[in-house]
Structure 1
């Protein structure tokens, strides 16, 4: 985010999965139902390797016999059980399993994978040269598992196996398909498989659609591209932002493998639209959350939406407790009776301050805070459309959708009546997505309550980013 005084926000996304309690509500369709995830019931529950899982059918070369390699072997075995059945019902030709699996320790000097030395190779990958899959068992996968659970390992292997499926099916053509397209096709195919797990059909793994799927999405946040600087080239080895990669995963999870075949350069370009993907000159870091920046965000929303009665802003957070028709939702609360947004500035600053710890599990950014603030403003926008219930689960997802609409609007730049200017920058969408997974306030109703499934929050937000106000009101009436 930038304006004349503040500089740009860069992306550091908090990866602690979380959920709020479920609210009452009336579903409008199977995919807009606040209590379902892509048509499945949204529930918390067991997630990970089943205690009665059959032994793996695949062996791992170079293994140390540890937990990571055990999970990886079971993951690939499960993936092959799924694709053996699903592939011929989806694509032409026959399923071709990976030739071999390789595990390595990047601290050891010896070892090769895909004609490259594995020394200092912190990665998991599919090798197009010989149809093999390999992974670093010491750093990457343990870090993801520590932050997000066992299914983070399975998600990574599902992505790598997605490359193998896409190549065999002819979706990915090695020398013709851009990396950005191939990566999101693989994300999508990972979603197809994990839908099968979430349905309870896997003999080896379980995945709850609440906290379990939240953890998988949080792991995907960690695998996003770093921000491109002003002198770097868009394209090349680009994989996509967290927003883009999670979107591709959700396509596969919700719509199946046909949606993965539909991902190409044109589709990604259309989905990306004019959203910023690269930092510009003089956009160098985070915007400090302050009274000035909070006021500027509110002024920009007044300019963008021009409500008949703009909400008033107060930094006296205690007033939220006296609101007669809404409960506090710190660090930003909206009271319909007084048409006031009460901000707990220290708490909002904490939400929007990047962590000094750069590990996968502790990433955050300023738009995590600003998207929560914007969502409170949008309670007033909903009131002015009349007849909308503000305190149920549908309202929570409507708010997420409208926050997405506001994100796109602010990314285009808004100049306020007093000459201030605000514009979201590369990375801000991912910071909002991080908040949707962690605190959920940007997908909260007037009381700050949301639905338990981060998948549903992000799906509603994406609907708004790619749509408009009318689309949000139609989907979440």
Structure 2
């Protein structure tokens, strides 16, 4: 269950005072998929890091060869067979990739362990495994282990076989990072974890390229499910002053997905660039902790929608700001484009049309319907609203089409720019203060993966790959408006 809450913080100034995974991702998208022609390796909306974005089988191959390693403590069941096959496959990848990357021979983990967290009298890395619903790499002993009783079955249920493979590839990433010297005893946990995310992305690229003898991974929904699994292991949302704040930090969903994508796109050599400085640059001024007196929730109402739109006007200063309508019929009457509820943009009238009940439902915090641990809350709604404002910015910019795949990714990119700009408080003409708070960006990323509306064109159409949608959003978070228009033409 996600521990994220909503994130936009809104305060009204009064008389000088201030008041303060998923296997079923296949069926839950709200946007449609564009059709089109490739442009280039980097700008092709229908590619994933230079590979075609395709759907197809994902998971264990039929009649795949079994594990090549013994597993201590195993019950011989199906889950351990799957885990053993995953480890054997991961090791087969590193047998070639490790010497190519690090110039030395690869040394596998010393031993593999399986346990049932509901059982007794078992230890891993010197600790009891009772209640240990986890997987891990034990640095002192160079061993790798997992809970077959709850963790791996849950991952398999939410994300399919590939969800189990993804987690074990991450844990093996710790082994590779330490073996190569990329990670040392004094390396902070935050860096260790994102290096392992990156190295697991490199392995997953090998699977997606159809090089694995045991597993397949489609670059469409298959890879979307892998990303959903990465997001599910984000840090819990904490308040300033919480005793756990800053302790054992692993990273936000945005940070962890970014690290995974670095490895998938650029290979294992790119992972050595991840250190505290690089993570700090990537994080920038994005908030990490909630203020002690804030939940971050901002109910989606007509008043709050107006405040967000006013904030966009201040931050982007369009010469011709878009009008705002709460009558869905206005979207239907826009003859040049199709509605994209819960928020639509009509270029001919320069109007953002909001279906408020639908937008409010999208922004309701709760357990994701797909059974995964994706972030939910108000910014799933507000990020869609912001994306429609970004279409108005594109209209005013001129020289670009609004109904293409490039426009969909450009919209995601500009929405990333808007996200960063809103990390600092904006006071609207009505006296409201709008600011992004911790966890907002994770909700935006989750929404981009699930329904793609933030990364959609004026008709609400997105591109097939959640990987590409999130990648475009990150370009905006780390860049600016000019970069978005240059990158996605």
Runs of 4+ aligned residues of structure 1 deviating over 4 Å after TM superposition are 5-8, 13-16, 18-21, 25-28, 356-359
1:98 alignment partner in structure 2: 109
* SS of residue paired to 1:472: helix
Residue pairs, 1:168-183, within 5 angstroms: 168-174=179-185, 176-183=186-193
User: What's the TM-score, normalizing by structure 2?
Assistant: 0.93
Alignment-derived partner of residue 3 in structure 1: 10
**Which stretch has the larger CA shift, 101-110 or 20-29?**
20-29
* 2:223 matches 1:213: yes
Name the CA shift for 1:279/1:337 in 2 (closer, same or farther; >3 Å).
Answer: same
Structure 1, unmatched stretches of 5+, are: none
Q: Which residue of the other structure, out of 389, 396, 406, is the alignment partner of 2:418?
A: 406
Number of matched pairs: 472
Kept in 1, the 8 Å contact 2:367–2:373? The answer is no
Give the CA deviation at 1:37.
Answer: 0.2
Residue 230 (structure 2) pairs with residue 223 (structure 1): no
Conserved? CA contact 1:16–1:361, under 8 Å: no
Matching of residue 325 in structure 1 with residue 323 in structure 2: no
Structure 1 residues 269-308: aligned runs within 5 Å: 269-308=280-319
Structure 2 equivalent of residue 347 of structure 1: 358
Deviates more, 1:102-111 or 1:233-242: 233-242
Cα offset, 1:116, TM superposition: 0.7
Aligned-residue offset at 1:363: 4.5
| 1:312 CA drift (Å) | 1.3
Matches within 5 A, 1:38-57: 38-57=49-68
Distance 2:445 2:341 in 1: 18
Over 3 Å counting, the alpha-carbon distance change for 1:222 and 1:356 in structure 2 is closer
175, 186, 190: which one pairs with 2:196?
186
Output the CA distance in 2 between the equivalents of 1:229 and 1:421: 20
Q: What SS is found at the alignment partner of 1:225?
A: coil
2: CA distance, partners of 1:291 / 1:142: 43
Name the residue aligned to 1:371. Answer: 383
CA gap of 1:75–1:107, structure 2 versus 1, over 3 A, is same
Instruction: Provide the rounded CA distance (Å) in 1 between the counterparts of 2:122 and 2:262.
Output: 37
Matched, 1:416 2:440: no
Q: Give the corresponding residue for 2:474.
A: 462
Matching residue of 2:326: 315
Uncovered stretches (5+) of structure 2, i.e. residues with no partner? 1-7
> What is the deviation of 1:109?
2.0
Tell which deviates more after alignment, 185-194 or 405-414.
Answer: 405-414
1:437 aligned counterpart, secondary structure: helix
Distance 2:359 2:56 in 1: 31
**Worse overlay, 338-347 or 437-446:** 338-347
Aligned to 2:25: 17
The alpha carbon displacement at 1:412 in A equals: 1.6
Task: Give the corresponding residue for 2:267.
Answer: 256
Aligned residue for 1:145?
156
**Is the contact made by 2:296 and 2:438 (CA closer than 8 Å) also made in structure 1?**
no
1:138 Cα deviation from its structure 2 partner: 2.0
Q: Over aligned residue pairs, what C-alpha RMSD do you find?
A: 2.0
Is the 1:14–1:435 Cα contact (8 Å) retained in structure 2? no
Tell me how far 1:29 sits from its aligned partner.
Answer: 3.3
d(CA) in 2 for partners of 1:24, 1:328: 18
**Are the counterparts in 2 of residues 28 and 475 from structure 1 also a CA contact under 8 Å?**
no
State the partner residue of 2:449.
437
Query: Once the two structures are superposed, what CA deviation does each residue of 1:279-334 show, in whole Å capped at 9, x if it has no partner?
Result: 11221242211111111111111111121221111111122111111101011111
Partner of 2:207: 197
1:94-173 to 2 correspondences below 5 Å? 94-173=105-184
User: Within 1, Cα distance between the matches of 2:246 and 2:374?
Assistant: 27
SS at match of 1:384: helix
Structure 2 CA distance for partners of 1:362 and 1:195, relative to 1, 3 Å: closer
- The answer to whether the 8 A contact 1:143-1:360 is kept is no
Looking at structure 2, the residues matched to 362 and 355 of structure 1 have their Cα atoms a distance apart, in angstroms, of: 10
Deviation at 1:166, TM superposition (A): 0.4
Counterpart for residue 392 of structure 2: 380
Q: Of residues 332, 346, 349 in structure 2, which corresponds to 1:335?
A: 346
- Partner in structure 2 of residue 61 of structure 1: 72
Distance 1:378 1:319 in 2: 19
CA distance in 2, matches of 1:5, 1:135: 50
Instruction: Report the CA distance shift for 1:201/1:21 in structure 2 as closer, same or farther (over 3 A).
Output: farther
**What SS class does the counterpart of residue 298 from structure 1 fall into?**
helix
- On the 8 A contact 2:123/2:129 being kept in 1, the answer is yes
Q: Distance in 1 between matches of 2:368 and 2:40?
A: 42
Distance 2:134 2:293 in 1: 32
SS state of the match for residue 3, structure 1?
strand
User: After superposition, what is the alpha-carbon deviation per residue over 1:406-457, rounded to whole angstroms, capped at 9, x for unaligned?
Assistant: 0000112211122211001110000000000111000000001000100000
Instruction: Show the counterpart of 1:237.
Output: 248
Residue 84 of structure 1 is matched in structure 2 by 95
